[in-house]
Amino acid sequence: MTGPFAGRTAIVTGASRGIGLAVAERLVAGGGRVVITGRNQDALDEAVAHLGGTAHAAGVAGKADDTAHQDATVARALEMFGSIDLLVNNAGINPTYGPMVDLDLGAARKTVEVNCIAALAWVQKVHRAWMGEHGGAIVNISSVSSIRTAPGIGFYGATKAMLNSITELLAVELGPAIRVNAVAPAVVKTRFAEKLYDGREAEAARGYPLKRLGEPEDVAGTVAFLLSDDAAWITGQTVVIDGGVTLTAAGE
C-alpha cells in the first residue's frame, strides 16, 4: 500500500467507535496498520472488519489502565505487523458530573489513573518496545475543558490539563526521534459526549461560530496530520479543535 502511513503501525486506544475509530480509519486509508483497543472484543472485531480485516488491523480487548492489557497490545502489534511507529492515546473516562467540591475522591483517582497515568504508561511501553530505538510520533487526545473551565466536568478537564503538561514534557524528553503532540476537541458527537448534547444539539451548537458540533472525522484529520511527516517540525503542542467556541462567551 502507498500513502503517508505506508509501512507504519499504530496503536490507537479506545478505538472501537467514535474518535478512536475515525483515527484508525484515516491511518488505514493512508496505508498504515492499526492495533485498536477497547473494552468489548465483539465491538473490536466489528471495527477490525470495518477497517478491512486482519491484513490492516487487530483488536485487543482490555482496560486502558491494565498493565497486562498494555503488554498484550504491544506484543500483538509487534507480532502481527513488526513495528509500533505511532501511538494515539484516545482512551479516557469521565465517570462523574457535578461540582468538584462534591466529587467522589475514588472516582477522581480513577479518572487520573485512566486519563493521565495510563496514557504515560502506554508511552513508556511503546518507547521500550520500539520507538526508543526507531523513533515515532504520539498524539494524546485532550479536551478544550483542559484550557477553559467546564462546570460539571471540571475534574475531567483538570486531568486533561495534566495530560497537556505530560505531552509537553515528553516532547522535550523524547525529541528529536519521537514527536509528541495533543489535540483538544470541544464537544464531538460521540457516545462518550452524548449527555452534553442529546436532545438539544441545535442549542448546544448555537455558541459555536461554525454553528455545529464536531464529528469524529474533524478530530481524526488533525490527529492524522500530527502523526504524519507533514508535521515533522511540530512537537509539544496542544491543537484546539473546537469550531471556534473558545473564542466566544459560550466557551468561557
Q: Would you name the residues annotated as active-site residues?
A: 156
Sign of CA dihedral 19, 191, 91, 67: negative
Radius of gyration of the chain (CA): 17
Nearest partner of 52 among 23, 75, 29, judged by Cα: 29
Whole-number Å distance between alpha carbons of 8 and 175: 19
| 214 Cβ neighbours under 8 A, 6+ residues apart | 185, 186, 187, 188, 189, 241, 242, 243
Q: How far is residue 54's CA from residue 14's CA, in Å, rounded to a whole number?
A: 18
Q: In the structure grid, which three cell numbers stand for residue 238, read together?
A: 496542544
CA-CA distances (angstroms) from residue 95 to 109, 195, 252? 11, 12, 23
